[in-house]
Amino acid sequence: MKIASVKEVKNRLSHYLKTAEKEDVVITKNGKPSAIIHHLGEDEIEDYLLEHDPKFRAKIEKRWKDYLTKGGRSIEEILQSLDN
């Protein structure tokens, strides 16, 4: 993992984007971590967007709470409902 200041990244953005293909780059502002440059391949962008979408995350959390309080269905019930 590389660490670079905002000023360094601003002046050498192409360099740090290339570096991020191999390892994450932590960007600091006033000596404190502020952001990360993380390489995303074409096949990773959809997963990243879903994982970081607040509405999607809220739905997952709601469904998980429902499952914990109400329980779920067995695999046999699910397969049977697909047959109908």
Domain holding 10: CATH number?
Answer: 3.40.1620.10
Q: What is the 3-state secondary structure (H, E, C) of the chain?
A: CEEEEHHHHHHCHHHHHHHHCCCCEEEEECCEEEEEECCCCCCCHHHHHHHCCHHHHHHHHHHHHHHHHHCCCCHHHHHHHHHC
Please tell me the total count of domains within the chain.
2
Whether residue 50 sits in one domain with residue 78: yes
pTM score of the predicted model: 0.62
Query: For 5-60, how does the pLDDT look when each residue is reduced to its tens digit (9 = 90+)?
Result: 999 999 999 999 999 999 999 999 999 999 999 999 888 999 989 888 999 999 99
Residue 69 belongs to domain spanning: 45-83
Whether residue 28 sits in one domain with residue 9: yes
**What pLDDT does residue 27 have?**
98
Identify the band that residue 84 occupies on the pLDDT scale cut at 50, 70 and 90. low
Whether residue 55 sits in one domain with residue 28: no
- Which of 1-5, 13-17, 73-77 is the least confident region? 73-77
**What pLDDT does residue 29 have?**
97
